[in-house]
Amino acid sequence: MDSDEEEQRIPLSQRPEWSDVIPVQQDDGPNPVVPIAYKEDFRETMDYFRAVYISDERSPRSLRLTAEAIHFNPGNYTVWHFRRLILEALNCSLHDELDYIERFAKSNSKNYQIWHHRRWVAEKLGTDAATKELEFTKKILSIDAKHYHAWSHRQWVLQALGGWEGELDYCQQLLEDDIFNNSAWNQRHFVITRSPFLGGLEAMREFEVSYTIKAIRANPENESPWRYLRGLYQHDTEALISSLQIPSLCVEVLSAKNNFIFALSLILDLLCHGFNPSEEMKNAVQVLKNSDSQPSDLSLADTICGILESVDPMRKNYWAWRKQRLAAQGT
């Protein structure tokens, strides 16, 4: 329903096609709490909705009525549910329904119901809907590149309906637009681990490590690629501590003496998994130490915790806890 129609809205009580229906009022009880001062058009719409819902009238006019009710309150999951029952009963064109949802979503996208409804429709349409769904989510993501529901829906589409071929490129594109977009990094991880067209994480790892390291070099303060990099070795710490590129990257970042918190954190992680640091790395860390504050015979891990307690004060307690646990881990 667009704004033109809104201004010309004829009350349901005056529409001849509804003359046989007796509207059902809401019974809030005698002393309701959190009562909402409904506007007359909303109240009337819901009164008629209640009538057809009770009599379970799954007709075209009921379908139109659900659209009107949804327009006022897109969060009414009962109306959406009934709408689905009507669509099934009338065997409506589900492609038309996708169009309806798309028009609606432009202004109401942050709503669980609309996405659940979309998923229900797409599931019924099956693999034919894949392209349309990927296009739809792309449109939403072009307005809000981190839209949580859009991403979840997109992932569901890929897994249930297919369309993986262009997905890695899509992630690449979004990351070119905004290398800080964590949702795009998350999607990248999703694609490389689950796409049937790629070889799986281990096969993709080398390429992904290079890609991620480039991103880190460009913006070492960007948390996303650091987490992504660590995520590439989530189930393979052996490979993690055998990597040559990762320690090299960390040393590079430390040497710039700027935005090195994530680098230190990653080195700490490596050490906790049994990594053997080079002299170059030890020196790069020592340089960052506040020379008066700590004795020089501490382990590298201890030293790193000490530095982090000082340069990352927001997480002071966390780094102190990590230091405390080093003894227990024997690091």
Would you name the residues annotated as active-site residues? 110
Q: How far apart are CA 2 and CA 278, in angstroms?
A: 66
State which of positions 125-154 bind other proteins (CB under 8 A): 145-146, 148, 151-152
Q: How far apart are CA 297 and CA 141, in angstroms?
A: 52
How far apart are CB 168 and other proteins at their closest, in Å?
15
Q: How far apart are CA 188 and CA 172, in angstroms?
A: 8
- In this chain, which of 66, 212, 224, 303 binds other proteins, going by CB under 8 A? 224
How far apart are CB 291 and other proteins at their closest, in Å?
26
Query: How many other C-beta atoms can be found within 10 angstroms of the C-beta atom of residue 291?
Result: 8
How far apart are CB 296 and other proteins at their closest, in Å?
27
Q: Does position 325 bind other proteins by CB under 8 A?
A: yes
CB within 8 Å of 202: residues ≥ 6 apart: 236
How far apart are CB 1 and other proteins at their closest, in Å?
15
Q: What is the distance, to the nearest Å, from the Cα of residue 167 to the centroid of all Cα atoms in its chain?
A: 16
State which of positions 26-85 bind other proteins (CB under 8 A): 26-39, 42, 46, 50, 53-56, 72-78, 81, 84
- In this chain, which of 115, 170, 260, 275 binds other proteins, going by CB under 8 A? 115
CB within 8 Å of 300: residues ≥ 6 apart: 267, 271, 277, 281, 282, 285
- CA quadruple 287, 291, 295, 296: dihedral, nearest 10: 30
State which of positions 150-189 bind other proteins (CB under 8 A): 151-152, 155-156, 159, 177-183, 186, 189
State which of positions 282-311 bind other proteins (CB under 8 A): none
Q: Does position 207 bind other proteins by CB under 8 A?
A: no
